[in-house]
């Protein structure tokens, strides 16, 4: 069970705490899964077709892409490939600009590396100077997320270029682009000029495949090799192989969801303006709402209404902040109703 879940909550209520597509995946995915044969389930899955489809979608050669059991597997594999201490006592370092996806630090420590955390700017703009200053001869990975989670703020692509130019030989820059479909910006077209950069993508968010676990990494084959060696054989199951191909064939369905995300964010911004709440404008499918001392009340009241929100108050720079998934318009309206109930009752 995920540490953010509680018994009996897995599918109960409205889940606006995990940045999932609460409208579900494309119907074409369900049709494709229903068509799986007994033999397909009995055999180890072939990856060529799914790799080709994903590579075409991302605009890369198939040999520069590896499928993953969720992007989390790629992050762990990068830690295994680049952050394990060596027999002579060398302890690699991973630079993690905060706030950040918790897995970056967890995986670094699990394999024996040392996380080096960089504090955020007050406005959550990317702290390029401090990230570059944190780079040492021990740096082996710089974890970047674009757009950032939990802030939704994008970093300039020039910042990624600058970090890639500053890391020592043998180090990589791992760019987590889990929310790139929403920002409509990616570093992938620049990868040929930056062989020390790896980009990770997921089909959990925009494509609604979080429950089936499918992601990918892309980069120069030599840079990917230590990561590929750490990915278990056949870790991507046949259902994920079939589902991702079906999902990528239904771009109209995804485009509709992306449009609803934009409308939902506009509704959230307007509600926050009306209710006197600060918020951070987001390039992802969520909004970080700065509710100050009302954060706990909002989260508690939302749960009483069967709506789950993510309290990010303990993250660096995020005191009193709630992260709210913004996707299906009707779901966003239900969340706004909770905000109104809590804040209007306090007046």
Q: Are 42 and 153 within one domain?
A: yes
Q: Is residue 148 part of a domain?
A: yes
The predicted pLDDT at position 314 comes to 94
Q: Are 207 and 324 within one domain?
A: no
Q: Can you say whether residue 213 is alpha, beta or left, with left for phi > 0 and alpha for psi between -120 and 50 degrees?
A: left
The predicted pLDDT at position 7 comes to 38
Q: Are 267 and 149 within one domain?
A: no
The predicted pLDDT at position 300 comes to 95
The predicted pLDDT at position 6 comes to 47
Q: Are 297 and 320 within one domain?
A: yes
Q: Are 231 and 307 within one domain?
A: no
The predicted pLDDT at position 12 comes to 75
Q: Are 232 and 100 within one domain?
A: yes
Q: Are 43 and 102 within one domain?
A: yes
The predicted pLDDT at position 297 comes to 95
Q: Are 193 and 314 within one domain?
A: no
Q: Is residue 302 part of a domain?
A: yes
Q: Which residues contact residue 238 at a Cβ distance below 8 angstroms, ignoring those fewer than 6 apart?
A: 36, 40, 41, 43, 45
End residue of a domain, out of 248, 265, 290 = 248
The predicted pLDDT at position 142 comes to 98
Structural domain that includes position 127: 27-248
| Average pLDDT per consecutive 10 residues, the chain (347 residues; last block may be shorter) | 42 90 97 98 98 98 97 98 97 98 97 98 97 98 98 98 98 98 98 98 98 98 98 97 98 97 98 97 98 95 96 96 97 96 77
* Cα–Cα dist 227/199, whole Å: 12
How many domains does the chain divide into? 2
Q: Are 45 and 115 within one domain?
A: yes
């Amino acid at each position: 069970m995920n540490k953010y879940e509680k018994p009996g909550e897995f599918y109960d209520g409205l889940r606006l705490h995990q940045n999932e597509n609460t409208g579900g995946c494309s119907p074409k995915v369900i049709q494709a899964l229903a068509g799986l044969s007994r033999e397909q389930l009995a055999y180890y899955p072939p990856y060529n077709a799914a790799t080709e489809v994903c590579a075409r979608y991302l605009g890369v050669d198939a040999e520069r892409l590896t499928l993953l059991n969720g992007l989390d597997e790629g992050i762990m594999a990068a830690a295994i490939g680049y952050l394990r201490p060596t027999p002579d006592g060398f302890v690699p370092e991973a630079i993690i600009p905060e706030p950040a996806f918790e897995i970056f630090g967890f995986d670094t420590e699990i394999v024996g590396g040392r996380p080096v955390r960089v504090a955020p700017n007050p406005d959550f703009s990317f702290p390029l100077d401090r990230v570059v200053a944190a780079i040492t001869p021990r740096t082996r990975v710089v974890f970047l997320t674009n757009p950032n989670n939990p802030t939704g703020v994008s970093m300039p692509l020039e910042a990624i270029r600058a970090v890639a130019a500053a890391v020592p030989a043998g180090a990589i820059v791992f760019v987590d682009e889990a929310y790139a479909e929403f920002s409509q910006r990616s570093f992938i077209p620049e990868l040929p000029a930056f062989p020390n950069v790896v980009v990770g993508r997921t089909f959990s968010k925009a494509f609604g495949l979080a429950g089936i676990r499918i992601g990918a990494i892309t980069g120069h084959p030599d840079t990917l090799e230590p990561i590929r060696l750490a990915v278990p054989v056949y870790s991507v199951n046949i259902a994920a192989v079939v589902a991702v191909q079906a999902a990528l064939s239904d771009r109209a369905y995804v485009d509709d969801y992306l449009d609803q995300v934009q409308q939902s964010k506009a509704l959230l911004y307007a509600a926050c303006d009306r209710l006197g709440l600060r918020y951070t404008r987001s390039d992802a499918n969520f909004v970080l709402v700065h509710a100050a001392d009302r954060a706990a009340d909002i989260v508690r009241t939302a749960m009483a209404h069967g709506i789950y929100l993510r309290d990010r108050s303990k993250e660096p720079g995020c005191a009193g902040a709630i992260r709210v998934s913004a996707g299906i318009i009707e779901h966003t309206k239900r969340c706004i109703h909770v905000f109104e109930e809590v804040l209007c009752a306090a007046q």
